[in-house]
Structure 1
Amino acid sequence: MIFKVYYQESKTQVPVRENTQSLYLEAESQRDVRKKLLNRDYNIEMIQQLEGEHLEYEQASEHFVLEQV
C-alpha cells in the first residue's frame, strides 16, 4: 500500500499549515509507516492511505516520488 504522510520537519516545531510537508511511502500499515519514519525527527500530522482514483491522481503529480526508507 502507498501512504501520503503530512509532517513538520521537527517534533519541537509548532504545526503551521504553511510549513506542512508531505512524502509518499510504501508500507503495510499506518503503524509500519510510523516505524519506518521513527529515526527521523518528524512531527507526523496525518497518514493517509492512497488507493483507486486518489492514488492515480497523486501519481500524475510531478511531486510524486516514493520515499526510500
Structure 2
Amino acid sequence: MIFKVYYQDKITEVPVRERTNTLYIEATSEEDVRSKLKERGFNIEFITPVDGAYLEYEKQSENYKVLEN
C-alpha cells in the first residue's frame, strides 16, 4: 500500500503549513512507515493511505515519486 507522509525536515521544527513537505512510501501499515523513516530525523505530522481514485489523482502530480527504502 502507498502512504502519503506530511513532514518537517527536522525533528525539532514546529509544523508550519508553508514548510511542510510530502513524500510517498510503500509500506504495510502506518507503523511500518514510521519505522522506515525513523533514521531520517523527520518530524512526521500526518500519514494517510493513498489508494483508488485518490492514488490516481496523486500520480498525475509532477512531485509523485514513491520513496524506495
TM-score (norm 2): 0.97
Displacement of 1:49:
0.2
Alignment of 1:35-54 (within 5 A): 35-54=35-54
Counterpart-to-counterpart distance in 1, 2:40 and 2:6: 13
Counterpart-to-counterpart distance in 2, 1:66 and 1:51: 13
Structural RMSD (CA)? 0.5
Displacement of 1:63:
0.7
Segments of 4+ moved more than 3 angstroms? none
Which has a greater percent of helix? 2
- 5+ residue gaps, structure 2, are none
Counterpart-to-counterpart distance in 1, 2:60 and 2:12: 33
- 5+ residue gaps, structure 1, are none
Structure 1 vs Structure 2: percent identity of aligned residues? 54
Aligned to 2:28: 28
1:16 aligned onto 2:52: no
Deviation string, structure 1 residues 6-42 (Cα, Å, up to 9, x no partner): 0000111111110000000000000000000010110
Counterpart-to-counterpart distance in 1, 2:55 and 2:31: 20
